[in-house]
């Protein structure tokens, strides 16, 4: 599909990219769900150790996810400009960065894993178990980095079925491994936590190998995609300019979430109930936003292609079209769920007190859906343009200037309950949405993109 086809039938382009990515996000969700469920069947300590390391994994994947965003921007814009060689060379550069970064994090992480577990203040009774889980997860980093980057390359090329097939494969291998080796089903040895973590390693490795096979079969994986140093020196600055705000944004966001968690945990009353309600409500919320994540990825791809083709006005229109589709579709779903929030809370949190708090959490966060959708979809569009610094600005201000101070004031001083924290989440989402919508509709964010005549380094690399 050429850029002209995107403008001729935008609805078809959006749909054809979104539904496979929605399924991909669903399978990604199922991987974590099965791991947690099987771990809970084995022992609560296994579940706790796995949860701690899983929540901390973002620190080890920052470079992969940040560079992957840069890869989508650079490759999609290059293809939109019909600069095939440039797209191929960016593919080679990003795969090289992924391979090197995964190995570096493994080499650094293994000798420092004890210090990392100590820094997490893991309880003594699960410390050895947590160290073992971390060790195997560190072994998983090299294939994990490669799989993330391969999927980014395929998305940028609008080959969204390949990441979907990858995640189906990973989910199947991980689920079968968890059940067979974690729980000892079908007459296989019950290995417990070893079965879970090595199933994760095996599934991610299989996913990375599958990506390599596809790249090899379609002729993409050949020595010509690995450019000489002279080209890399010219091309890398654009990749870095897109990646560093994306990486910093992840740190800002996750650090803010940890502070919010701390504010909730130290509430003057019912803090444990509040934490449990927050955890239960977040599970429902994460499912509800799977379509939004898919539209975020779609916006990044299509905006990148249109900007590369030299169509900045159409790129803005495409972002707004995707936003309209998201607000209408997911907004309707939220409206249908609204009368049943109490029933949903009862299903995920059997204890009455937690059930009430989960419902309270869902009320404010479902009300925030229009704002959250606006933030997520426009952030994807801006990322496709390479304007990730605007995402950092919006997320940073919304989290650290609005959400956290307001959560403390309302939760600890004025209301003295978790409701104050949930209100702060609604307010911060509104703030982020207003900032990004203003930037997207009023600012020249298209200037961050490469094009036929202006790329990442004044047009010097091809």
293 vs 4, higher pLDDT: 293
Check whether 319 has a pLDDT greater than 70.
yes
Contact (CB, 8 A) for 444 and 454: no
Where exactly are the structural domains of the chain? 11-227, 246-462
Q: How far is CA 333 from the centre of its chain?
A: 22
* CB contact at 8 A, 177 and 193: no
d(Cα 12, Cα 306) in Å, to the nearest integer? 15
Which residue from 354, 357, 362 is spatially nearest to 334, judged by alpha carbons? 362
**Per-residue model confidence as pLDDT tens digits over 230-285:** 999 999 999 999 999 999 999 998 888 888 888 888 888 877 788 778 877 887 88
pLDDT > 90 in the chain, percent? 58
- Residue matched to tokens 């036929």: 452
> Angle, to 10 degrees, between the axis of helix 229-265 and the axis of helix 44-80?
140
Structure tokens at 380: 């994807």
* pLDDT, position 170: 97
Confidence at residue 5, expressed as pLDDT on a 0 to 100 scale: 63
The rounded distance, in Å, linking the Cα atoms of 89 and 99 is 15
Cβ atoms of residues 91 and 225 within 8 Å: yes
- For 143-201, how does the pLDDT look when each residue is reduced to its tens digit (9 = 90+)? 999 999 999 999 999 999 999 999 999 999 999 999 998 888 888 888 888 898 999 99
At residue 459, does pLDDT exceed 50? no
Q: Which of 290, 364, 361 is nearest to 329 (CA)?
A: 290
Within its chain, how far is the Cα of 389 from the centroid?
A: 17
Which residue, chain included where needed, has tokens 């779903």? Answer: 333
Compute the mean pLDDT over every residue in the chain, rounded to the nearest whole number.
Answer: 88
74-83, 117-126, 279-288, 376-385: which has the minimum mean pLDDT? Answer: 117-126
Judge whether 101 and 332 are in contact, CB under 8 Å.
Answer: no
> Six-digit token pair at 45?
């300590």
Higher-confidence residue of 202 and 350: namely 202
| 93-108: average pLDDT | 94
**Tokens (6 digits) for 286:** 């994460």
Query: How many residues in the chain?
Result: 462
DSSP string, 64-130: HHHHHHHHHHHHHHHHHTT-HHHHHHHHHHHHHHHHHHHHHHHHHHHHHHHHHHHHTT--GGGHHHH
Q: Is the pLDDT of residue 461 over 60?
A: no
Return d(Cα 359, Cα 401) in angstroms, integer: 26
* Mean pLDDT within 429-450: 95
């Amino acid at each position: 599909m050429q850029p002209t086809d995107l403008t001729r039938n935008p609805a078809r382009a959006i749909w054809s990219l979104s539904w496979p990515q929605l399924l991909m996000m669903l399978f990604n969700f199922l991987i974590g769900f099965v791991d947690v469920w099987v771990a809970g069947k084995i022992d609560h300590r296994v579940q706790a150790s796995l949860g701690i390391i899983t929540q901390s994994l973002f620190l080890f994947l920052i470079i992969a996810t940040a560079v992957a965003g840069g890869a989508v921007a650079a490759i999609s814009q290059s293809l939109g400009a019909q600069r095939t060689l440039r797209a191929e060379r960016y593919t080679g550069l990003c795969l090289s960065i992924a391979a090197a970064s995964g190995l570096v994090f493994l080499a650094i992480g293994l000798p420092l894993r004890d210090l990392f577990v100590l820094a997490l203040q893991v309880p003594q009774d699960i410390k050895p178990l947590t160290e073992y889980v971390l060790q195997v997860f560190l072994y998983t980093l090299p294939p994990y980095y490669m799989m993330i980057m391969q999927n980014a390359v395929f998305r940028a090329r609008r080959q969204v079925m390949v990441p979907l097939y990858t995640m189906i494969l990973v989910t199947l291998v991980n689920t079968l491994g968890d059940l067979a080796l974690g729980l000892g089903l079908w007459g296989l040895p019950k290995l417990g936590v070893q079965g879970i973590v090595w199933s994760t390693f095996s599934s991610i490795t299989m996913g990375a190998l599958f990506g390599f096979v596809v790249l090899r079969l379609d002729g993409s994986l050949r020595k010509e995609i690995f450019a000489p140093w002279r080209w890399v020196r010219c091309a890398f600055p654009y990749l870095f300019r897109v990646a560093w705000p994306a990486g910093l944004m992840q740190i800002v966001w996750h650090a803010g979430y940890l502070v919010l968690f701390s504010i909730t945990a130290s509430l003057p009353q019912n803090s444990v109930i509040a934490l449990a309600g927050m955890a239960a409500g977040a599970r429902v919320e994460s499912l509800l936003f799977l379509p939004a994540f898919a539209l975020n990825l779609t916006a990044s791809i299509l905006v990148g292609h249109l900007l590369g083709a030299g169509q900045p006005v159409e790129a803005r229109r495409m972002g707004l079209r995707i936003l309209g589709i998201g607000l209408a579709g997911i907004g309707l779903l939220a409206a249908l769920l609204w009368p049943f929030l109490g029933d949903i809370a009862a299903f995920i949190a059997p204890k009455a007190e937690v059930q009430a708090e989960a419902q309270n959490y869902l009320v404010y966060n479902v009300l925030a859906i229009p704002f959250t959708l606006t933030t997520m979809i426009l952030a994807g569009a801006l990322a496709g343009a390479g304007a990730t610094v605007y995402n950092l600005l919006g997320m940073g201000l919304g989290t650290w200037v609005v959400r956290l101070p307001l959560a403390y004031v309302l939760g600890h001083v004025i209301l003295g309950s978790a409701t104050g924290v949930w209100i702060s989440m609604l307010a911060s989402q509104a703030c982020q949405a207003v900032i990004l919508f203003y930037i997207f509709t009023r600012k020249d964010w298209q200037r961050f993109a490469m094009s036929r005549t202006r790329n990442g380094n004044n047009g010097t690399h091809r």
